[in-house]
């Protein structure tokens, strides 16, 4: 394990993130899961889908 990660874990153990930040992160994860679920079920509109641009070699 990288020593930088050990230092980060020790900082988090001493001063954990606030409840507001934890709610914010879980909200972002829930929003991403909701968008993925809508797209997976086929309800995502075509106008919101990005088209792949072919690469020219």
C-alpha separations of 35 from 6, 23, 24, 27, 52 in Å: 34, 18, 17, 12, 19
Within 13 A of 18's CA, how many CA atoms are on the CB side? 3
Question: How far is it, in rounded angstroms, from Cα 26 to Cα 12?
Answer: 17
State percent of the chain over pLDDT 70.
100
Q: Is the pTM of this model over 0.85?
A: no
1, 8 in Cβ contact below 8 A?
A: no
Model pLDDT, residue 13: 94
For the chain, the structural domain boundaries read 16-41
* 57 pLDDT above the threshold of 90: no
Q: Convert the pLDDT of each residue in 31-55 to its tens digit.
A: 999 999 999 999 988 888 888 888 8
């Amino acid at each position: 394990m990288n020593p930088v990660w050990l230092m980060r874990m020790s900082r988090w153990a001493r001063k954990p993130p606030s409840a507001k930040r934890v709610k914010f992160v879980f909200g972002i994860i829930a929003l991403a899961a909701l968008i993925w679920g809508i797209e997976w079920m086929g309800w995502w509109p075509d106008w919101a889908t990005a088209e792949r641009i072919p690469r020219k070699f």
